[in-house]
Amino acid sequence: MKGASEGLVSLFPHASSNPGTLYPFFDMKKIEMGHGSGGRMSSELIREVFLKYISSDELRLLEDAASLKLSTAGAAMTTDSYVIRPLFFPGGNIGKLSVCGTINDLVVSGAVPKYLSLAFVIEEGFSMEELEEILKSTGEEAKRAGVSIVTGDTKVVGKGDCDGIYINTTGIGETLKSMSAGNISIGDAVIVTGTVGDHGTAIALARNEFEIDTPVQSDCASLNDMVNPLFAIEGVKWMRDPTRGGLATVLAELAGTTGLGLQIFEDKVPVREDVRFISDMLGYDPLYLANEGKAVIVTSEDASEQVLGILRNYPLGDNASVIGHVTNKFRGARLTTSIGGERNLDMLEEELLPRIC
């Protein structure tokens, strides 16, 4: 974490008058402006809290930059920012989400995730207990995914200048497979790795704006263990994680990029019954709700069964399904409904649920 050791004891009104005595960090229950000063309070926050949960060999050096090793000729890099509300939701929190979201962006780009950076913007007065809970899940998810958090930054802003905590990430991975919409051709299969709309529904319910008591959990998860084996299959051509805008927006974007048609069948798209029920109640379409642990994959028709077989070997892929195919009979994404009608799937015009990731 940059700037952890800068500053003088005299800058901090709570610091001990004895220069050899550390600031009594664990007396603090909330984040103070001094925690973002770059001095003693910052140093103790990083050493006693951040490194407790997200430590790595590179991070422990507390240098301004991490030295990385990549064994392949190609590398992938992505960045994202997380401003979710609420910070805690069934199935995860902003910390876990920041790791999963960044890992998944690399995975669907054909890369094996290796390194992450994390930058935190924290509001003055934020609960130290909640910060530790967020960091704990952040570290656990990175460890579970086999990814090292190697550098980061912490800033504290005044009360009311941000909503609790925001996280920015950068991810770097080793590219193993080229993924391009230009590889897609007529007859290819469109696969989704699991039920859609789970995250968007969980967030909607967690905001307590609706009096609905249904235990829907976010699908927030890192996909690399399940998806990495697909890189060895020649017929796998393209992937995307359907986050904001959901499955329908991803399909509409893909159709626009390729100039081809995507014929999708509603009865093939996996949707949890409780998600479908809640969507009907609230007037949402599950196809447009966010996901944080799913991927859309386009493969050759011949490779589709092999891909499904691999996906279904993992709990995250239990409900993997071929939901349609690529066609030249029309342009755009088109849904054949369960009652035999048809409708176009267009890009989402505006967010159904702001600040879901």
Distance of alpha carbon 252 from alpha carbon 248, whole angstroms: 6
d(CA 208, CA 204): 7
- 80-95 burial, b for 16+ CB within 10 Å, e for fewer? bebbbeebbbebbbbb
With tokens 């690529």, the residue in question is: 326
Q: Has residue 129 got a pLDDT over 60?
A: yes
Q: Which tens digit of pLDDT belongs to each residue from 276-297?
A: 999 998 889 999 999 999 999 9
Over 90: is that where the pLDDT of 25 sits? no
Q: Which residue has the higher pLDDT, 7 or 224?
A: 224
Per-residue pLDDT reduced to its tens digit, 208-224: 777 777 789 999 999 99
Return the SS3 of 95. Answer: helix
Task: Give the whole-angstrom CA distance, residue 219 versus residue 318.
Answer: 13
Least confident of 16-20, 71-75, 192-196, 352-356: 16-20
The DSSP output letter for 47 is: I
Predicted confidence at residue 235, as pLDDT, reads 97
Give the pLDDT of residue 211.
73
At position 183, the amino acid (one-letter code) is: N
Query: Which tokens go with 42?
Result: 């910052």
Residue 204 has pLDDT above 50, yes or no: yes
230/312 Cα distance (integer angstroms): 12
Alpha helices in the chain (DSSP H): 40-45, 51-54, 57-60, 94-107, 128-145, 198-206, 224-227, 246-258, 273-282, 304-311
User: 1 falls in which pLDDT band (50, 70, 90)?
Assistant: low
Select the more confidently predicted residue: 223 or 352.
Answer: 223
Q: What is the pLDDT of residue 24?
A: 53
Is pLDDT above 90 for 228?
A: yes
Q: Which domains does the chain possess?
A: 21-175 (3.30.1330.10), 181-345 (3.90.650.10)
- What is the model's pLDDT at position 137? 98
| Highest mean pLDDT pick, 5-9, 26-30, 238-242 | 238-242
Q: How many beta carbons lie within 10 A of that of residue 185, not counting itself?
A: 14
The string of pLDDT tens digits covering residues 35-91 is 988 888 888 898 889 999 998 888 888 888 888 888 777 899 999 999 999 999 999
What is the overall mean pLDDT for the chain?
Answer: 90
Q: How many residues does the chain have?
A: 357
